[in-house]
């Protein structure tokens, strides 16, 4: 009975209750959609980084990470490592890479770059770079022609290069001798990370290995994609135990900024929503205090005829929870529908594309929230409603029945 009475009480003053409910609705709508945009940005950045830049796991010679010198290769363990990576059922694909720093020179300018010597067929299964080359921007490496190179759009703009242009790479071989060669651009790719595009070029491993005086089968990096990303830490530990002489790292270690964003985002969203709910909670407290003031005589009468303090407290608490939960459910429903719609259409911020790409984010945002967020948010709303009812309910309990019934 007390549950029904509490529900009817909040509609005794429809205008006031609707104002509070609408305030909560729009507050939660804005909070949910803002959270979805931030979560979507973080998830999108992680997905693009893993599929285009880092893969789930990378394996290196530890000294290569310390000094970044090409002489520190994976050689003695290469045969056993290849067999393990080929046979592991949790690994969907992997690719070995020759990776080194070089100077890129064109007729107009020069700059430092990172060169990836790859096996094109294997690399297609690990990285999406091949899909980032548009039809009018050439083709990916095919291994048929010698000294082909794929460059990023940002690098092409910086060096004033175009398709079929010649670019000269200068670098040191494994013995420290200065060498180099001319390569012809067969494709120009573009990702949503202009820093990566400006720094990274791809050539065939078979073309670059002889220039570096490297033995066949040697490489500096193995990039690994997994069947299930949730098994990443488990596979990383297995490979680290199997090959203790090598350094096995997850993408979170390779790209700590994106890793921090992924780990911190959920906690940040809950803090963000808690601040919004706390502000709305003060509005509920103010409304309930007004309710107590208006119903002083009524509450005195209820107490005088035998309603105990526990029931009075429960009634006030339920009214607060009903107010907050009604507005919150409508706000979350609208926020969820808006998130679904924009997740399908995307939010186009192409006018700010240059700024987004400088920090590695796509100018087309796809908001995202999982059901766990909405369940947790519902619990938070109920808790805020309970907390917001405590002070008004205590004020109601302190009323003197004899004085309250004489109040006009």
| CB-CB neighbours of 22 under 10 Å | 13
- Judge if 267 and 374 occupy the same domain: yes
Is the CB of residue 91 less than 8 Å from the CB of residue 269?
no
Residues 348 and 383 in one domain: yes
State which of 216, 245, 274 marks the end of a domain: 245
Residue with tokens 């059901």: 371
- Of the three residues 245, 270, 289, the one that is the final residue of a domain is 245
Are residues 322 and 291 in contact, defined by beta-carbon separation less than 8 angstroms? no
Instruction: Report the first-to-last Cα separation within the chain, whole angstroms.
Output: 27
Residues 122 and 232 in one domain: yes
Residues 164, 96 share a domain = yes
Q: Are residues 232 and 306 in the same domain?
A: no
In order of 9, 18, 297, 312, the CA distances from 13 in angstroms are 8, 9, 17, 19
User: 3-class DSSP state for residue 167?
Assistant: strand
Q: Are strands 178-189 and 133-138 parallel, antiparallel or unpaired?
A: antiparallel
Q: At what angle do helices 256-294 and 309-345 cross, to 10 degrees?
A: 140
pLDDT of residue 300: 63
Per-residue pLDDT at 126: 93
- Is 252 a member of any domain? no
**What secondary structure letter does DSSP report for 176?**
S
Note the pLDDT tens digit of each residue in 149-159. Answer: 999 999 999 99
Per 3-state DSSP, what percentage of the chain is helix, strand, and coil (rounded to 5)?
60, 20, 20
Radius of gyration of the chain (CA): 31
Question: Does 250 fall in a domain?
Answer: no
Say what the pLDDT of residue 348 is.
83
- Residues 298, 273: one domain? yes
Distance, CA of 34 to CA of 342 (rounded, Å): 12
Residues lower than pLDDT 70 in the chain: 1, 76-79, 293-308, 359, 396-408
In a domain, 251, yes or no: no
Identify the domain containing residue 340 by its residue range. Answer: 2-49+259-404
pLDDT in tens, 95-151: 999 999 999 998 888 899 999 999 999 999 999 998 889 878 889 998 778 899 999
Would you say residue 306 lies in a domain?
Answer: yes
- 66 and 191 in a single domain? The answer is yes
Q: What is the pTM for the complete model shown? A: 0.79
Domain shared by 223 and 263, yes or no: no
Q: Is residue 147 part of a domain?
A: yes
167 & 286 share domain? no
Unique residue bearing structure tokens 């060498």: 179
d(CA 203, CA 334) in angstroms, rounded, equals 50
Decide if 55 is inside a domain. no
Is 253 contained in some domain? no
User: Do 237 and 380 lie in a common domain?
Assistant: no
pLDDT at position 362 is 77
Residue 56 lies in a domain: no
Neighbours of 335 (CB within 10 A): 24
Q: Among the three residues 189, 222, 245, which one is the final residue of a domain in this structure?
A: 245
Residues 165 and 109 in one domain: yes
How far is Cα 318 from Cα 315, in angstroms, rounded to an integer? 5
Structural domain tally of the chain?
Answer: 2
Is the same domain home to 316 and 201?
no
**CA distance linking residue 170 with residue 181, whole number of Å:** 7
């Amino acid at each position: 009975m007390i549950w029904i009475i509490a529900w009817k009480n909040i509609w005794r003053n429809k205008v006031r209750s609707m104002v509070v409910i609408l305030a909560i609705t729009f507050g939660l709508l804005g909070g949910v959609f803002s959270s979805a945009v931030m979560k979507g940005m973080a998830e999108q950045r992680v997905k693009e980084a893993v599929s285009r830049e880092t893969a789930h796991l990378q394996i290196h010679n530890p000294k290569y990470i310390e000094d970044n010198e090409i002489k520190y290769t994976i050689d003695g363990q290469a045969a056993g490592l290849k067999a393990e990576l080929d046979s592991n059922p949790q690994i969907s694909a992997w690719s070995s890479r020759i990776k080194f720093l070089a100077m890129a020179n064109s007729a107009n300018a020069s700059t430092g770059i990172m060169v990836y010597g790859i096996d094109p067929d294997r690399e297609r299964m690990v990285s999406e770079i091949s899909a980032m080359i548009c039809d009018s921007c050439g083709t990916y490496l095919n291994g048929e022609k010698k000294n082909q190179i794929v460059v990023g759009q940002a690098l092409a703009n910086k060096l004033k290069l175009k398709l079929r242009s010649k670019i000269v790479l200068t670098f040191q071989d494994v013995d420290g001798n200065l060498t180099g060669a001319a390569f012809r651009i067969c494709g120009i790719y573009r990702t949503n990370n202009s820093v990566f595009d400006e720094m990274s070029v791809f050539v065939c491993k078979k073309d670059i290995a002889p220039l570096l005086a490297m033995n066949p089968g040697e490489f500096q990096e193995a990039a690994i994609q997994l069947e299930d990303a949730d098994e990443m830490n488990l596979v990383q530990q297995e490979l680290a135990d199997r090959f203790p002489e090598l350094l096995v790292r997850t993408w979170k270690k390779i790209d700590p900024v994106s890793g921090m964003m992924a780990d911190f985002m959920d906690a940040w969203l809950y803090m963000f929503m808690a601040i919004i709910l706390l502000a709305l909670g003060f509005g509920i407290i103010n409304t309930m205090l007004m309710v107590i003031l208006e119903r002083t005589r009524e509450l005195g009468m209820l107490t005088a005829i035998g309603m105990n303090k526990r029931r009075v407290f429960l009634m006030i608490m339920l009214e607060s929870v009903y107010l907050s939960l009604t507005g919150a459910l409508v706000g979350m429903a609208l926020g969820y529908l808006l998130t679904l719609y924009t997740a399908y259409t995307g939010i186009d911020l192409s006018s700010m594309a240059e700024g987004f790409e400088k920090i590695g984010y796509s100018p087309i945002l796809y908001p995202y929230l999982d059901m766990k967020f909405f369940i947790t948010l519902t619990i938070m709303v109920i808790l805020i409603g309970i907390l917001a009812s405590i002070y008004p309910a205590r004020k109601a309990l302190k009323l003197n029945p004899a004085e309250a019934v004489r109040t006009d």
